[in-house]
Structure 1
Amino acid sequence: MAATPDGCEHYVRSCLLKAPCCGKFYVCRLCHDGEEKHQLDRFKVREVRCAACSTIQEAQQTCKECDVKFGEYYCDVCHLFDKDKKQYHCQPCGICRIGPKEKYFHCTKCNLCLATDLKDNHKCVENVSRQNCPVCMEDIHTSRIGAHVLPCGHLLHKTCFDDMCITGAYRCPLCMRSAFNMKEFWEDQDKEIAQSPMPTEYRDTTVKIICNDCQAHCTVSFHVLGLKCSSCGSYNTAQYGGLIAAPAVNT
């Protein structure tokens, strides 16, 4: 018997979970958590109620009474029912991930499944997925939203990264390193500064900076449009100390 088109905004499934914490029935843990003042532990779910015939039964993929399939995909660890999204259960992560599995690998140091093109091609930060997204402050490890790995190794939700780029932000909210290759932007800034000379009284003025990208400490020419790191060429810098006037020339 075909599955009925029941479910919620989060999942397509034909059953409701019996919450082990309060005994109430909800389509999913997210629906439960949005209504209750506590969280549903997905791993402790033992019973479900069929959305077609209302039979309460042990959690399983197919209704024992009317043969409705509760979900095209079912995990008996996470008690996840949903339409087929090429999901797979990652044992080290402890939860199900959206696949296909062959396009992902589990990074043991980051403690997260990442796209295969990042294998041996990303900076590892130990247990980085166990931190909240620094933009929205929501959990990353168990989120249904994919994670984006920054060059510094820190993680953001993919949607948060996209929003950050739209607003013009280009630095990691945690360590302030550039979040993507800024070479073309720095070249444009070079041109703009070259076309906008400072007033005569400031042309020989310098200032001390620290570069957020390479961590170099430099003394560079002062310009209101940007302070360029003399080590790596980045404008992702921060000034410390006041302006340093050029020494007077005796005539």
Structure 2
Amino acid sequence: MAAAGPGLGPGPGAGAGPEAPLLNCGHYSRSCRLKALCCGKFYTCRLCHDDAENHQLDRFKVSQVQCAKCKTVQQVKKSCERCETVFGEYYCDTCHLFDVDKKQYHCLPCGICRIGPEDNFFHCVKCNLCLAIHLRGNHKCVENVSRQNCPVCMEDIHTSRIGAHVLTCGHLLHKTCYETLFSKGAYRCPLCMRSAVDMTKYWEELDTEIAQTTMPSDYQNMIVKIMCNDCQLHSTTPFHVLGLKCSGCGSYNTAQDGGLITP
């Protein structure tokens, strides 16, 4: 399945008027600095603050900014009250976000701004996050699924600037984490262990390989109890070192659930 709507990230371009200095911090491009209520320091963005300090900046409590052109400290707004420098092409009065235009929109249920265009996404009430429009009615809902850390990198998913990949089981990974994990041959969800990609062809190849690989005589009649990670069925199957096949769904994504049994 495709990616969920990401939070906001860096991008090229200028968000201010002529001759206004543009602050490029690696996260955002804007023409003002935020005053952190927590420590009274000025930072280009909350992420720069959090990287440098031992506490986090609450973006919603930011009340003052400093113009990068005339250095005036003022109440947070889109343009400088003194020199009229536009602090950002996009400005959200809730998130206090300034940035270049990336077709951003503020999602009220998510509580943060997302990269758009808005028409390309919808907010899933049960999952409680914005998903790509083609996933409407075409994904497995997991309640508040984004309100947890990515199981690969353990970083926050909901407010991340990296898009989230929705697995068939409904769990989320950062898109980059998904690509890294599965490029190394992993095929299961790190949380529930269900197959996250279509393994039908591989299971068929494993069927053929097992049929061509005879077990030693001492093990030829052995069976074993297994539990299938894909369909959750508990069953018995002939023991084979290459794989233990679920009698219900045909998956080899199984775990041994007991010792060997001699019929």
Q: TM-score, normalised by structure 1?
A: 0.94
Structure 2 residue aligned with 1:67: 84
Contact 1:4-1:68 within 8 A present in 2 as well: no
Match runs of 1:192-231 below 5 Å: 192-231=209-248
Q: TM-score, normalised by structure 2?
A: 0.90
Q: Work out the CA distance in 2 between the residues paired with 1:6 and 1:68.
A: 13
CA deviation after TM superposition for structure 1 residue 245, in Å: 2.3
Structure 2 residue aligned with 1:249: none
RMSD between superposed Cα atoms in Å: 1.2
Q: Name which of 12, 22, 40 aligns with 2:29.
A: 12
CA deviation after TM superposition for structure 1 residue 89, in Å: 0.1
Contact 1:16-1:51 within 8 A present in 2 as well: yes
Q: Which has the higher contact order (CA 8 A, sep 6+)?
A: 2
Matched letter for residue 23 of structure 2: D
My pick for the range that moved more, 194-203 or 84-93, is 194-203
Q: Name which of 55, 63, 82 aligns with 1:38.
A: 55
Structure 1 residue aligned with 2:110: 93
| 2:155 counterpart of 1:138 | yes
Identity of aligned residues (%): 70
Q: Work out the CA distance in 2 between the residues paired with 1:105 and 1:59.
A: 29
SS for the counterpart of 1:220 is strand
Q: Name which of 129, 136, 146 aligns with 2:146.
A: 129
CA deviation after TM superposition for structure 1 residue 163, in Å: 1.2
SS for the counterpart of 2:225 is strand
Matched letter for residue 110 of structure 2: C
Contact 1:147-1:155 within 8 A present in 2 as well: yes
CA deviation after TM superposition for structure 1 residue 201, in Å: 2.2
SS for the counterpart of 2:155 is coil
Deviations 1:58-80 (A, max 9, x none): 11112222222211111110001
Contact 1:7-1:15 within 8 A present in 2 as well: no
Q: Identify unmatched segments of 5+ residues in structure 1.
A: 247-251
Contact 1:5-1:12 within 8 A present in 2 as well: yes
Q: Work out the CA distance in 2 between the residues paired with 1:98 and 1:127.
A: 20
Give every structure 1 segment of 4 or more consecutive aligned residues whose post-TM-superposition deviation is greater than 3 Å: none
Q: Work out the CA distance in 2 between the residues paired with 1:223 and 1:30.
A: 52
| 2:40 counterpart of 1:23 | yes
Matched letter for residue 191 of structure 2: L
Contact 2:22-2:68 within 8 A present in 1 as well: no
My pick for the range that moved more, 150-159 or 189-198, is 189-198
Q: Work out the CA distance in 2 between the residues paired with 1:242 and 1:228.
A: 16
My pick for the range that moved more, 96-105 or 133-142, is 133-142
Q: Name which of 148, 151, 163 aligns with 2:165.
A: 148
Aligned length: 246
Deviations 1:158-206 (A, max 9, x none): 1111111012111111111111211122122222222322122222211
